[in-house]
Chain A
Amino acid sequence: MNNSMQWSRNCPIPISSDALRISLAHGEGARLSRRLISEIILPRFATATSRGFADAATVTTIGCRLAICTDSHTVSPMFFPGGDLGSLSVYGTVNDLAVAGAYPRWLTMSLIIEEGLPIVILERILDSAAHAAGECKVTIVAGDTKVVPRGAADGLFINTSGVGELMDPVPPGPESIQVGDKVLVSGPIGRHGIAVMSTRESFAFEPSPLSDSGSVIHAVASLRNSVGEHLRTIRDATRGGVSAVLHEWAMECGHTFALTESCIPVTDEVRGACELLGLDPLYVANEGTIVIAVDPLFAEIALNAVRQVPGCGQAAIIGEVQPKRITPVTIRRNFGSPQPVDEPSGAPLPRIC
């Protein structure tokens, strides 16, 4: 991604007023629907047959256990520094499978398109989704499109469902977390939320904060291969950020997570934006950064393994699990005694002054 690009809340593609746009007729099952599918959608997904997607895709497994998940994606603006809705809709579901211990294999993709969406935008989003799917070696095997009247959706909503093959050893989950375990993150936190917010609100931050939107398959694989059975659990820290993940884990395992602020990687761009807006990076969304709980004896090995993965060079051990206290998550800031970290409540709203 070119850092020097100028981002605004508008789509970076200039759209002429007479550009071809999606109409309700594109969703009514007749010739325009067929052309939308056969000319715009199918050519981008190489494995779909020339006749289009079958009513139901059939896939073959070799007797392994499967993981299944689904996720709906909407983001305003659809294009932001570091990503867009298309790639996000693939990475989001792929990452949900990966952190569950599965190797993502197949996706379905369902588009809900608002009447009036320029076709060139749809094409660009689909190109990006196809590129992300290729990068993740995941096949889009089934799909659907619906067109809704103008105003009934925000441009484009994408739902993707995914199926993956579970890879041994599968992390047992947050209930297996024990006192003394270490907590890691795979990179600087809060990048996606700040990138989207600063684009949506046209903040002229220089340089533009970049989203971390991306696949975590390689990071998870590196953990599986290095410290396999010593992993407790992994989660991608999306909405609600790292704080939301740790609060959920604390509920499951009944312990307290004690963080050290100086160990938490945060980029200067995110830190500056958060200071300005009165936000805390712990609550800000990520889209390609994972939180890991691991046996303390294997934490350094896990850290070194993750750091070898491209894009994860700033992975860090950010805290440890302690016996249950009144608060599920605490943080030791630069000075003084540890303070509680609150559970996020709704979207963060910037302060007045």
Chain B
Amino acid sequence: MITYLLRRLLQSLLTLLVISMILFGLISSVPGGIMSAYQENPDFTPEDLARLEAKYGLNDPAPVRYLKWLGNSLQGDFGNSFTSKRPALLEIADRLPNTMLLMGVTLIATLLIAIPLGILSALKQYTWFDHISTTIAFAGQSLPVFWFGLLLIIIFAVTLKGADGRPWLPGSGMATLGKPFSLVDRIEHLILPVSMLAFVSAAGYMRYLRSSMLDVIHEDYVRTARAKGLRERVVIYRHALRNALIPLVTLIGLDLPSLFGGALFTETIFAWPGIGRLYFTAALKTDYPVVMAVLIIYSALIILSNLLVDVVYAALDPRIRLS
């Protein structure tokens, strides 16, 4: 087990190294960048441009810049944002709580919707209920987020108004400006983005759970449990569901990094000041220290969560041996 973990960690580091090379190569080959903002401005003299290039470390060739970046990042310094001049990690830390709040609430909401619906539609296979929920799930999976988000905003934050003339729900940000913090206000701001994210991702979870549940309830041990004369409730929840949930662990585990990475479209549409939006604006401005920091941390978390899923799997299912 220990050797297995060590080997996997070592592999992960190599993977990360390759990922970082590819990402750095891609980002530095993108045209434009911070210097084009200055080159546009005739007030900036050639001496100014040279000074700024040196300041941002852009006067070295890409491989040299990569090695410098790698050396610094290994010591925990991902460089300073080109636009704010603050450390990239600080920019991320500022937004991390917001993203974790949004994605955490979303994950809980997703599970609260998906688990009961998944179980029920498996148990009531081919009934009206199954057909309706399956259709909705497919719709949810196929909805383009940027379109659906705008639709929600237009309906609930612009068109529908209460008696006081104010829209039902706020359509952007995470707090009403100029008012002291209140939990109600924060929840109101969470409703639209969370509903959208949960609707879209619950669809996937639900479909997964439904098919896994269908597999399980036709297993021999479920029939045995029924034959023993156990009550249906016990058969379903104690014998079938626990086994059916195992594949779900994979899904949840693989979704964990999104607690960090956030949701790019959702955060951008709803002006949620999280990491997805930070990444989006940084990418638009080719602010590559920030872009690299977000991508590398995100990649590391994905690799880690994969590892975590494998370990948890082994713990849940004694038949699986890690070697």
Decide if A and B are genuine partners: no
